[in-house]
Homo-oligomer: A and B are copies of this chain.
Amino acid sequence: MEKVPEKIRVKRVPKRGIYDKETIYKILDKEFICHVGFVYHDSPVVIPTLYGRKNNDLYLHGSMASRMMKSLKEGIDISISVTRVNGLVLARSAFHHSANYESVVLFGKAYLVEGDEAKNEALKYISDHIIEGRWEEIRQPNAKELKATMVLKIPIEQASAKVRTGGPVDDKPDYELNIWAGVVPFNRVIEAPIPDEKLSGGILVPDSIKNYEELYK
């Protein structure tokens, strides 16, 4: 096995650490909100934002006036974390309580995506990542909107995933206790789409949403 760089090596419960790109991409593709960490005026700042993944790059977008975007585009160090929680792990002892989760922590630097065509393509990556097929259904960005939007590409330099699954693991003597133990699983569901109150009559729910609903079935 290759030596894992210190920066991304999972220190706590190392057996939960995963470094292959396929697993990392799979987790990144399940979510669309990431938490971006950067240093601003010598202090750490963590901000949630939407993202898209395409190949080994994450894409972020935001207003040209965004403090975060303006900071990131200077090529400073960035850490990004994506987390999905799948359940509470309830053990017999307080000490062995845990959560089932899948998370990715990655490090990189941002590059400004420049030029209308490249920006538009990157925005499509984000849109496809969040809800595939939507991009083709909507009015795409005009020159003014592209100008107001900053798009950043973050090649994933270093990344690790951490995954916990399964039931609780208690200390041997605790199995004798008269205490319920197991997992309370979480799931994310989508509810019926709520049409905009200004929606003109006769416009049906589009394929992008129908396909999205299928993913959640």
With known contacts A37-B79, A193-B183, A103–B43 Cβ distance under 8 A: no
Contact string, A65-102, partner B, CB cutoff 8 A, digits 1/0? Answer: 11100000000011111010100101111110101010
With known contacts A35-B83, A38-B44, A46-B46, A187–B191 Cβ distance under 8 A: yes
Inter-chain contact B167/A180, CB cutoff 8 Å: no
Interface residues of A in 179-198 (CB under 8 A from B): 179-198
A90→B133 CA distance, assembly (Å): 12
A183→B65 CA distance, assembly (Å): 26
Residues of chain B lying within 8 A (CB to CB) of residue A50: 99
Smallest beta-carbon distance A174→chain B, Å: 6
A108→B81 CA distance, assembly (Å): 20
Is A19 at the interface (CB under 8 A from chain B)?
A: no
Inter-chain contact B194/A178, CB cutoff 8 Å: no
> How many copies are assembled?
2
Is A156 at the interface (CB under 8 A from chain B)?
A: no
A93→B149 CA distance, assembly (Å): 14
Residues of chain B lying within 8 A (CB to CB) of residue A137: 179-180
Inter-chain contact B191/A167, CB cutoff 8 Å: no
Q: Determine, out of A52-60, A110-118, A199-207, the stretch whose residues face the partner at the interface.
A: A199-207
Q: How large is the interface on A (under 10, 10 to 19, 20 to 34, 35 or more residues)?
A: 35 or more
Interface residues of A in 13-50 (CB under 8 A from B): 33, 35-39, 42-48, 50
Closest to A90 in B: B134
Residues of chain B lying within 8 A (CB to CB) of residue A189: 186-189
Contact of A123 among B66, B94, B186 (CB under 8 A): B94
A191→B139 CA distance, assembly (Å): 39
Closest to A185 in B: B191
> Which residues of A line the B interface, CB within 8 A?
7, 11-12, 33, 35-39, 42-48, 50, 62-63, 65-67, 77-81, 83, 85, 88, 90-95, 97, 99, 101, 103, 105, 107, 123, 127, 130-131, 134-135, 137-141, 145, 149, 167-168, 174-175, 177-200, 203-206, 209, 212
